[in-house]
Structure 1
């Protein structure tokens, strides 16, 4: 299928061939008929892409600080590589989509095949959209009119926050597409509306709709004009839909407001607010979040968990429906806003000179004969060697892009497929790394007899199911950590594993030259190890914290260090005790200390903290054995104390990814033992589960093998004594 994408690196807008998405649980698959170009938002993206590195840095000073912190901890070259990889990531354009439902996912009850719907889908011939971001279109609303649904909801949410009443005066600053629709909705609500813009064409259009238009370029003082129009009282509310870097707009909004007036920001402006201007009038100021309640909430948007109507009357989906109802009742006129209608193939008529476009609303028209049957995209000019050792990748996220593919490329891995849910990122990576096929159906890899090994880097909750299916298909498997999120998933993997193929989990630290050196120095004698992870904070609403999706950071990330200590000690974990910061720590904590007791008498301590400084090294490993100490500092420097003939190893930061994928490639081609023994992988995974159980139970938990039931230390003590640790 065809899809519009934007390059952050060059600013180029491309109509790309990508695999059509499949249908997902809780979603509907839509064949697009029309989509609306949000000229303001998409103009900013294009201009940002065309800016040079210095200009990009000036526009995102917060990102510059992150880059500088990364340089301090990881070095210049790894940081530059990460930055350029990020800039090379394509961005799908568009969020105002209309089309026809052609497939309905599981757990979707409000839609059926053939329904006409509006959604926040992208500029693509086919889109897969979660049901809470889709609304049915009334019969008397055309597809072109319905294309205004999402962008109208942005203005509507600003109005809801402003909370105007019949007869109040509201000023709308910025009469672009959102501003004009906002003004129209306010007028339909019985408000007196004043519109402010620098464009004479937009002012004229607003006046045609009964809106009082003020153009500062005509010599009118905006504040004085509003005060005159309100008899010196000032406006009841100001909704700012403009996009400008100046602080003048927020200042003028305060000056033109009445005492205790309301100011709502929908657009993007400078926000150096004068306290005096707000204090004297006791003004309120609020930033509006996109389409309304539910926005950026994964439970609402991705999992379909609606907010109860009696408590949250207007969610983003209900805002979509309200806009469609207003258009249907002819309370909101959007047809007059359409400036141009352009076939998808001729998209450059819109994007070629978008920075100087005077259009208000541009509609993309899609071909009726498009088909979603093709799920495999052949990459022109790419090829794969048909010899043994063919790889297929499932997942095209940051780890695949920034870590795995560069490492595989350096070791000459033979990659035939890359699968991604949406198709855009997978196709972009396929072209960059000369991978022959991009697909949205990962089972293509399992059905292809050429594929020897499947590499899985999806979200954590998909790992176990994909691993099980790949093992059952007779494929070698590499899966990025964690292997599973719970014991039931792990049991299914163990049942599917028969030893005829290998299973590798991405525990790369054991392959770092620093860890290899320490292992060589200390041997297999009992030892004490302290591994400290300065993990950094991740916002609570990010999926990694969700126990059902990410497994939390202990299962999802701290498992790395359980494996590392297991490798260095040469033993398996026998019992685990975890303590977390806080008076009532939750199971998905990311500030915890984990104590590990090993079968050979070794002990391990994992300090997994998210509350440290980002300028401090992320990882530090200390190994104590036989009056000797080895310290690994962020896989850049290892120092030895008490070792004959060794004091220091210094490299660029090397966490072992290249060595891991090099060994994997060599073993797949030539045969040999698994990179990590299967029983160690299972033991490490069980130990991560035991850490969570320990936090819940408040004590030591024995690591029970598959088929057994985990027991607390007190229960084990009834069978045989255990030393108190």
Structure 2
């Protein structure tokens, strides 16, 4: 997705030659720089970005990385190596297109950001997020925390009508939450425990709505727990001064959760998630730990607990549903925090998100 010099097949609509972009150079080093506006290649669309989200992965890479971003090691699929435009949650207007995507120009889209080949065994099975050549704009090559970004047209879902950019800016992370909720397998009669009601936990709750008998949300922040109740949690518990494993056993009559969803990635939380799950239950790991985790698996094996993981989303299935759920504005009203400009990205975005003090989901308007 690096800048190209070939002209777009569809005429560009007021596209400048250069743009401002948030570029990661290394740990703790994200700079707003001028860069050439990229040109779309075959099957690609150039989006004028109207909103871009900041993800926990972005904050983690800023604080602890780069380990996932190909800043110091070349990406095996995209070939990217070196400073990279970050941002994998973005929406915008298509202002130019390469051959095969000309009819996209002039319409507004949310992008799934993840790119798949369409021909490997995983793609043929419908699990495009596991494609053997999968890569993501903003994680594996230049992304959308910029004025413009090029993406394959296949990653786009049209934003209908005149829905507000702030709400639709949540489409990609909501799609991730919807995919995780599906992966959990939660259904009628289940007692679900969600560990962590932050951003991704909140989006998972949107996918769990109405699917389980009880949804119990655990967190250490009263505001997040209040939001969890608005999003459909049947009960919430502040675990700042409580052993969460003992609490879950108590509120489930000593049985434990039938489905536990671990959405924090914090040290020790993986083991606690296993310990609070009942015989024959299931644990879904969502949060990415920053360090290797020691697990005592013997008790888990002896209770025949299933362990499941989740990755990204299946664009064709999860992104259209996310766009539809965001149309009435209710989810956005509950989850949105600040909308900031690129110049405030580090101090009002990455640092608060890394510290856990961000006031809701932070979006960036790259034209502020």
How many pairs align? 306
State how far apart, in whole Å, the 2-side matches of 1:90 and 1:188 are.
44
State how far apart, in whole Å, the 2-side matches of 1:253 and 1:47 are.
25
State how far apart, in whole Å, the 2-side matches of 1:188 and 1:123 are.
35
Relative to 1, partners in 2 of residues 1:289 and 1:46: Cα closer, same or farther, differing over 3 Å? same
The residue matched to 1:18 in structure 2 has which SS? Answer: strand
- Shift, 1:203, TM fit: 2.3
State how far apart, in whole Å, the 2-side matches of 1:209 and 1:290 are.
21
State how far apart, in whole Å, the 2-side matches of 1:166 and 1:324 are.
25
Q: Does 1:46 align with 2:62?
A: yes
Relative to 1, partners in 2 of residues 1:28 and 1:162: Cα closer, same or farther, differing over 3 Å? same
State how far apart, in whole Å, the 2-side matches of 1:351 and 1:319 are.
26
Q: Superposed, which structure 2 residues align to 1:589-604 within 5 Å?
A: none
| Aligned twin of 2:126 | none
Contact 1:181-1:334 at 8 Å conserved across structures: no
- Shift, 1:4, TM fit: 0.6
Contact 1:102-1:113 at 8 Å conserved across structures: yes
The residue matched to 1:226 in structure 2 has which SS? Answer: helix
Q: Does 1:108 align with 2:101?
A: yes
| Aligned twin of 2:318 | 319
The residue matched to 1:238 in structure 2 has which SS? Answer: strand
Relative to 1, partners in 2 of residues 1:352 and 1:180: Cα closer, same or farther, differing over 3 Å? closer
TM-score, structure 1 normalization: 0.40
| Aligned twin of 1:261 | 281
What are structure 2's unaligned runs of at least 5 residues?
A: 1-18, 74-78, 114-142
> How big is each residue's C-alpha offset from its partner over 1:4-35, in whole Å with a ceiling of 9 and x where there is no partner?
11121x52211110000101111111101111
| Aligned twin of 1:361 | 361
Q: Superposed, which structure 2 residues align to 1:115-514 within 5 Å?
A: 115-119=107-111, 120=113, 121-139=143-161, 141-211=163-233, 212-217=235-240, 219-244=241-266, 246=267, 248-269=268-289, 270-291=292-313, 315-328=314-327, 333-351=331-349, 353-354=351-352, 355-356=354-355, 358-359=357-358, 360-367=360-367
| Aligned twin of 1:705 | none
- Shift, 1:188, TM fit: 4.4
Contact 2:191-2:214 at 8 Å conserved across structures: yes
Q: Superposed, which structure 2 residues align to 1:484-563 within 5 Å?
A: none
Relative to 1, partners in 2 of residues 1:344 and 1:159: Cα closer, same or farther, differing over 3 Å? same
Question: More helix by proportion, 1 or 2?
Answer: 1
Contact 2:205-2:232 at 8 Å conserved across structures: no
Contact 2:46-2:97 at 8 Å conserved across structures: yes
- Shift, 1:168, TM fit: 2.0
| Aligned twin of 1:19 | 36
Contact 2:349-2:362 at 8 Å conserved across structures: no
Contact 1:234-1:258 at 8 Å conserved across structures: yes
Contact 1:226-1:256 at 8 Å conserved across structures: yes
What are structure 1's unaligned runs of at least 5 residues?
A: 50-55, 61-66, 68-85, 292-314, 369-725
- Shift, 1:170, TM fit: 1.4
TM-score, structure 2 normalization: 0.75
- Shift, 1:127, TM fit: 0.7
The residue matched to 1:28 in structure 2 has which SS? Answer: strand
State how far apart, in whole Å, the 1-side matches of 2:252 and 2:326 are.
30
The residue matched to 1:157 in structure 2 has which SS? Answer: helix
> How big is each residue's C-alpha offset from its partner over 1:264-301, in whole Å with a ceiling of 9 and x where there is no partner?
1111135433222221211111221222xxxxxxxxxx
State how far apart, in whole Å, the 1-side matches of 2:149 and 2:184 are.
33
- Shift, 1:91, TM fit: 2.7
Contact 2:181-2:205 at 8 Å conserved across structures: no
The residue matched to 1:340 in structure 2 has which SS? Answer: strand
- In the TM superposition, structure 1's runs of 4+ consecutive aligned residues that sit over 6 Å from their partners are none
Q: Which has the higher contact order (CA 8 A, sep 6+)?
A: 2
Relative to 1, partners in 2 of residues 1:31 and 1:188: Cα closer, same or farther, differing over 3 Å? farther
Contact 1:251-1:277 at 8 Å conserved across structures: no
The residue matched to 1:14 in structure 2 has which SS? Answer: strand
Relative to 1, partners in 2 of residues 1:227 and 1:41: Cα closer, same or farther, differing over 3 Å? same
Contact 2:191-2:212 at 8 Å conserved across structures: no
State how far apart, in whole Å, the 2-side matches of 1:5 and 1:152 are.
25
Q: Which has the larger radius of gyration?
A: 1
Contact 2:37-2:148 at 8 Å conserved across structures: yes
